[in-house]
Structure 1
Amino acid sequence: MKTVKEIEALLREIDEPTSWLTELSSDERAGVKKALARWQSRYDKKQLIKEAHQLKMEFDASYRPFKGAYIAGVDEAGRGPLAGPVVTAAVILPEETPELVGLDDSKTISKASREELANKIRGVAISISVHIQSAPKIDELNIYAATRDSMERAVNALSVTPNFVIADAMSLKVDCPTASVIKADAQSLAVAAASIIAKTTRDEIMDNLHKEFPIYNFSKNAGYGTAEHLAALQTVGPCEHHRESFEPIKSMVRNR
């Protein structure tokens, strides 16, 4: 009879149910029962992730106007911060992307996982385009118009022309049919991919801005109005990368 430790080691090597697991369920040892329960829990979580991936693929397929049509997902990062650009990304994925199981809205994924996924997306995507909308342009157009303009520019810069575009909560005017979908990054695989690319690109930009303006701690707050960031603004005022149309920077600039 195998020891509990031996059984635990074997369970770590098994990804799918087997007849041995069925036999193991009759083992009365408490350690074996716990080990089997842990395996089942891990398996169930993996199945949920696979099912979520399949649902995202089916969501994108539901917008495909014909077999083989290219679906582009578009999303942004950085609409809310006080500083830094809005970054938008457009991504066209193949119909089958087993490498991207686990891909989700960038806000639900750790920084390390986002970077890993971004590399996988770049490895399998049919086409990727990124557009960076600067703080001065945001001030000129307003944040909504600047984001829409950036999304449209990202779509138009794709090396492959999409047949349909799914945008996260934004109505776009481009040279193909589009859909504005609320929380599309949680429903569409292509939009989730765009979310990851936009977020990782913007994080890199803010990390570089941090080196130039360390007092604001952009590498930590990504330009959002944290208490630390607001305190720095009160001490030294805004820099060229702050959005002068956003409060409290708007008032600071007006009162100079």
Structure 2
Amino acid sequence: MPQAKMTIAEIKHHLNNGTAQEDWIRNWRGDDRKGVRQLIEKYDRHMEQAVLLQKQYETLLSYEKEWRQKGYKYIAGVDEVGRGPLAGPVTACAAVLPENEMFPGLTDSKKLSRAKREYFGEVLKDKALSYHIVHVFAQTIDEVNIYQASKEAMMKSVNGLDIEVDALFIDAMTLPTAVKQLRLIQGDAKSASIAAASVLAKTARDQYMIELAEKYPEYGFEQHMGYGTKEHLEALRKYGPTPEHRCSFSPVQAVL
């Protein structure tokens, strides 16, 4: 059967599964069936988006490429999440990406949907050369302040890597280590390595807060992840703080 005479369902199957040959697609472009035209239009939009994501990711690799040309082979991106919440840990991750692996669509975790973060989180756990995630909890945050707790989490995440890195790309922080560092403001939107660390830290912290919600269901941690939403503040006033709340933060202090 000529490929142009495939059923619409067959054409859809091949386009969706990447099994369509180029000459088939050329034939389908001349098909007068409305359903086929719609499939080709959708396919073209998908391919345009794929090319765009690939270019965006290549831009995100610009610092990594520059430093690798200087001889820095193993570069760890370092980022933290959870400075602002009233409850739960501040979480940091250090991640080392393989040089020849591409992750189109990866970017700052704040710009990704939850589903996309979880997808990339699983991919990165599988593909990263090394990564290490650290939680620093409320008691330490209250003892040393959130800035120092964030730095501690970042430093521990670097020290927990199972390979020796040549350089650190860090989101808006300088760490007390002799390893060569690049401090990037909004680094999770500028460096693939930092973006990877931000996704891994965010997904790990979110999972922790979801599990915490099972222990303290009245606070709705699975919804706001510890941030000071109206619902969270109302629960604080009604039930008081948990051991996971940061008592040095003024909204928590107000109910003590």
Fold similarity call, TM over 0.5: yes
Kindly state the Cα deviation for residue 31 of structure 1 after the two structures are TM-superposed: 4.1
Please report how far the alpha carbon of residue 229 of structure 1 lies from its aligned counterpart in structure 2 after TM superposition. 0.8
Letter in 1 for 2:41: A
In the other structure, the counterpart of 1:11 is 15
Task: State the Cα distance separating 1:3 from its structure 2 match.
Answer: 6.4
Which of 78, 83, 88 matches 2:87? 83
Deviation of the 1:153 alpha carbon: 2.1
Change (3 A) 1:226 1:21: same
Name the counterpart of 2:56.
52
Percent identity reads 37
Q: CA RMSD in A?
A: 2.3
- Alignment equivalent of 1:104, drawn from 102, 107, 110: 107
For residue 196 of structure 2, the aligned residue among 184, 193, 196 is: 193
Question: For the residues of structure 1 that align with 2:68 and 2:163, how far apart are their CA atoms?
Answer: 15
Greater CA deviation, 127-136 or 83-92?
Answer: 127-136
2:139 is equivalent to residue 136 of structure 1: yes
- Contact 1:15–1:43 (CA under 8 A) maintained in structure 2: no
CA separation of 1:215 and 1:15: change in aligned 2, threshold 3 A:
same
Aligned residue for 2:5, secondary structure, equals coil
Residues 1:212 and 2:215 are matched in the alignment: yes
Q: Using a 3 Å threshold, how does the CA distance of structure 1 residues 104 and 248 change in structure 2: closer, same or farther?
A: same
Residue type of the alignment partner of 2:146: I
Give 1:242 deviation, angstroms.
0.7
Select which of 227, 233, 236 maps to 1:233. Answer: 236
Q: Normalized against structure 2, the TM-score is what?
A: 0.88
C-alpha deviation, 1:91, in angstroms: 0.7
Asked if structure 1 preserves the Cα contact closer than 8 Å seen for 2:72 and 2:167, the reply is: no
Q: Is the 8 A contact 2:72 2:166 kept in 1?
A: no
What is the count of residue pairs matched by the alignment? 252
2:215 is equivalent to residue 203 of structure 1: no
2:254 & 2:231 partners in 1: Cα distance? Answer: 19
Q: Deviations over 1:147-205 (max 9, x none)?
A: 12221221122222211111112222222111111221122121111112111211121
Q: Give the alignment's TM-score, normalised by structure 1.
A: 0.88
In 2, distance between residues paired with 1:74 and 1:16?
40
Q: Deviations over 1:70-106 (max 9, x none)?
A: 10000111111110110000011111113x3332222
Contact conserved, 1:16 with 1:43, CA < 8 A, in 2? no
Q: Per-residue CA shift, 1:214-256, capped at 9, x if unaligned?
A: 1111112110111111111111111111111212112223xxx
Checking the alignment, whether the CA contact within 8 Å between 2:14 and 2:20 is kept in structure 1 is: no
1:120 equivalenced with 2:123 (yes/no): yes
Q: 1:27 to 1:182 in 2, by over 3 A?
A: same
> How far, CA to CA, are the matches of 2:43 and 2:125 in structure 1?
32
Cα separation, 1, equivalents of 2:212 and 2:33: 58
Unaligned segments of structure 1, at least 5 residues: none
Letter in 2 for 1:160: I
Asked if 1:155 is matched to 2:158, the reply is yes
Query: Does the aligned pair in 2 maintain the 1:82–1:225 contact within 8 Å?
Result: yes
| 1:22, distance to aligned residue in structure 2 (A) | 3.8
Distance 1:156 1:56 in 2: 25
Mapped pair 1:34 → 2:38: yes
